[in-house]
A and B are shown apart, each in its own frame.
Chain A
Amino acid sequence: MTKPENHYDDVRAIVKKTFQPVAGGEPPRDLWPAILRKLDAHALRRRVPWYDWALLGALVGTLAIFPDLILVVMYHL
């Protein structure tokens, strides 16, 4: 097992006087729900295909350029 060289002892002594090793390391709460939230958010994002976003973008762009069309779109909704 390779350990730090002895000629680093001076620096190591100062560092060790300043920081304590971490004891235990048990997470304070169950982190699984946070993972599940990430999984759900990812699944939700993936459920909408890219071309739906592209169509929506095109529609918004068109309405921004020709605002009169908003009434026509609303009529057809």
Chain B
Amino acid sequence: MELLERFAQGDIDAFEALFQQFQRDVYGWILRIVRDPAAAEDLTVETFWRIYKARARFDPQASFGAWARRIATNLAIDHLRYRRPEQELPAQLGAPDGPNPALQREARDQIQRAFRRLPAKLQAAATLAFIEEKSYDEIADALGVSVGAVRLRMFRAVRILRKEFNRMGLKP
């Protein structure tokens, strides 16, 4: 019997095989959105737990990777929704300091806070498009929405960010 069919019937060995095959992809995807390794670990575990609970609804003919990524994206967005924008980002995920580190760090903190004040859905789309350079098609697939919806989220995110950056006196 196929691995996906065995998984859908609740076979724990099949689930473990799928976990080993996809955990790196799921973890990496979540990390790209939440940008916090500890939170990404917890959310990866939660994603696979939800996958296991929903196994009966999974169609073995469909793509497991795409399904897992969609569940992971929804959980990551929920995490962004409840995380405070003031919370520090792990240092390694920020950009390196330039010639005037103190000034640059302050400006960078302001920009980070502005970015993280975006509504969760807009923030996820903007992170994937601007920082991770993912295509709208890939983002739409992971979010489970149309490319048009991604385009609209990007439009709204850019409008908010541009306003914030102008208020901070940042000239692009």
Contact = CB atoms under 8 A, between A and B. Distances in A.
A38 B12 CA distance: 13
Interface string B121-157: 0000011011111011100000000010001001000
A25 B24 contact: yes
B161 interface: yes
Contacts of B49: 35, 38-39
B93 interface: yes
A9 B154 CA distance: 12
Contacts, number: 117
Interface residues of B, number: 48
Interface residues of A, number: 32
Interface stretch (B1-9, B29-37, B57-65, B77-85): B29-37
Interface in B76-110: 92-96, 108
A49 interface: no
B99 to A, nearest CB: 13
A11 B172 contact: yes
B31 A25 contact: yes
A12 to B, nearest CB: 5
Given A1-B137, A2-B136, A11-B172, A18 B108 contact: yes
A10 B52 CA distance: 43
A15 B131 contact: yes
A31 interface: yes
Interface in B16-68: 16, 19-20, 23-24, 27-29, 31-32, 35, 37, 40-41, 44-45, 48-49, 52
Nearest to A7: B158
Given A18-B112, A19-B35, A35-B45, A11 B132 contact: no
Contact of A17 (B20, B24, B29, B95): B95
Interface of B: 12, 16, 19-20, 23-24, 27-29, 31-32, 35, 37, 40-41, 44-45, 48-49, 52, 92-96, 108, 111-112, 115, 126-127, 129-133, 135-137, 147, 151, 154, 158, 161-162, 165, 170, 172
Given A16-B131, A17-B108, 8 more contacts: A2-B137, A19-B35, A22-B93, A31-B44, A32-B19, A32-B23, A35-B19, A35-B49
6 contacts: A14-B165, A15-B115, A20-B94, A22-B132, A29-B41, A31-B48
